[in-house]
């Protein structure tokens, strides 16, 4: 389970990863008070086109936008609309692009003038969890070692990991085998990691309960308790030593 990429495949994946990262960074820089989510969608659309790429999200199972923007208690898959970013907002941006047939997928959360120390700790824990997951992604270990590393960091800080949505293998399609959960289930399969496997690792970390609900729009995922959530994602390739992160 999990395809081993050739050197040539990896060249393609490096290119799509770098494009996703550039678009992410440009849109994150534009996340300031007063800007409408729809304007950020427009910006992403232009940047992705200018790169000669296309959104991996738009049209995916009917998803209507090129990026996802999830505010505050929205966990993932928020659809950009006319709302404007306000001081104090927790903004999660998810960008996926396809370039020459290869998909790169990444996400990051920015705090726009958030003073609340607990929310700042939440974001720091989410980043730390992603780093721990990446560090655990090595040839010879198991997918569940990534899950365990992420869950341990998050729960040590007193937060919770979303269970209903998971990371994934990635390549010519956005979602490939294996699934990469951010928690260890009692029946977690033992899938061995091998050099050349490409994964998207993406902890979704909630301040309160891990439980989430999908809105009637069929996409927007919210925390069940209305407390904030953060999301950090990189696409990487497993190696014998440290993984190669493609979305930087
Ligand atoms: N990074 C997300 C994922 O891996 C983005 C999917 S948004 C969708 O599922 F609209 F394309 F579904
Ligand atoms: Co993803």
Alpha-carbon span 230 to 161, nearest angstrom: 10
Residue 212 three-state SS: strand
Which of 25, 166, 169, 168 is closest to 108 using CA atoms?
25
Residue 38 three-state SS: helix
Q: Which of 17, 76, 231 to mutate to test the pocket of ligand 1 (most atoms within 8 A of CB)?
A: 76
Asked if 149 contacts 193 with a C-beta cutoff of 8 angstroms, the reply is: no
Provide the pLDDT for residue 1. 74
100: phi then psi, degrees, rounded to nearest 5: 45, 40
57 ligand 1 Cβ < 6 A: yes
Asked if 130 contacts 201 with a C-beta cutoff of 8 angstroms, the reply is: yes
Domains of the chain, each with CATH number or no CATH: 7-245 (3.90.230.10)
**Quick one: which ligand is closest to 55's CA?**
1
pTM score, two decimals?
Answer: 0.98
Q: Which residues of 75-112 are buried (b: 16+ CB within 10 A; e: fewer)?
A: bbbbbbeeeebeeebbbbbbbbbbbeebbbbbbbbbbb
Burial class (CB in 10 A: 0-12, 13-18, 19+), 223: buried
Provide the pLDDT for residue 2. 86
Provide the pLDDT for residue 183. 98
68 ligand 1 Cβ < 6 A: yes
80 ligand 1 Cβ < 6 A: no
234: phi then psi, degrees, rounded to nearest 5: -130, 150
Q: Strands 244-245, 221-223: parallel, antiparallel or unpaired by DSSP?
A: unpaired
Alpha-carbon span 165 to 162, nearest angstrom: 6
Q: Tens-of-pLDDT digits for all 248 residues of the chain?
A: 789 999 999 999 999 999 999 999 999 999 999 999 999 999 999 999 999 999 999 999 999 999 999 999 999 999 999 999 999 999 999 999 999 999 999 999 999 999 899 999 999 999 999 999 999 999 999 999 999 999 999 999 999 999 999 999 999 999 999 999 999 999 999 999 999 999 999 999 999 999 999 999 999 999 999 999 999 999 999 999 999 999 99
Provide the pLDDT for residue 194. 98
Which of 95, 92, 164, 85 is closest to 126 using CA atoms?
92
Alpha-carbon span 70 to 65, nearest angstrom: 13
């Amino acid at each position: 389970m999990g395809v081993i990429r050739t050197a040539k495949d990896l060249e393609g994946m490096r290119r799509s990863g770098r494009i996703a990262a550039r678009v992410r960074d440009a849109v994150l820089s534009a996340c300031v008070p007063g800007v409408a989510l729809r304007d950020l969608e427009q910006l992403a659309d232009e940047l992705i086109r200018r790169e000669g790429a296309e959104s991996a999200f738009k049209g995916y199972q009917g998803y209507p936008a090129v990026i996802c923007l999830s505010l505050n208690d929205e966990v993932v898959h928020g659809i950009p609309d006319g709302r404007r970013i306000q001081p104090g907002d927790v903004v999660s941006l998810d960008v996926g692009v396809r370039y020459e047939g290869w998909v790169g997928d990444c996400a990051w959360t920015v705090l726009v003038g958030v003073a609340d120390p607990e929310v700042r700790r939440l974001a720091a824990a989410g980043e730390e969890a992603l780093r721990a997951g990446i560090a655990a992604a090595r040839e010879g270990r198991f997918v569940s070692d990534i899950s365990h590393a992420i869950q341990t960091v998050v729960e040590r800080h007193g937060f919770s990991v979303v269970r209903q949505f998971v990371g994934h293998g990635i390549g010519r399609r956005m979602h490939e085998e294996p699934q990469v959960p951010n928690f260890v289930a009692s029946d977690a399969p033992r899938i061995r990691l091998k050099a050349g496997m490409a994964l998207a690792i993406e902890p979704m970390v909630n301040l309160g309960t891990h439980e989430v609900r999908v809105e009637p729009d069929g996409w927007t995922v919210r925390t069940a308790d209305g407390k904030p959530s953060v999301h950090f994602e990189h696409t990487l390739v497993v190696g014998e030593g440290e993984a190669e992160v493609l979305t930087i």
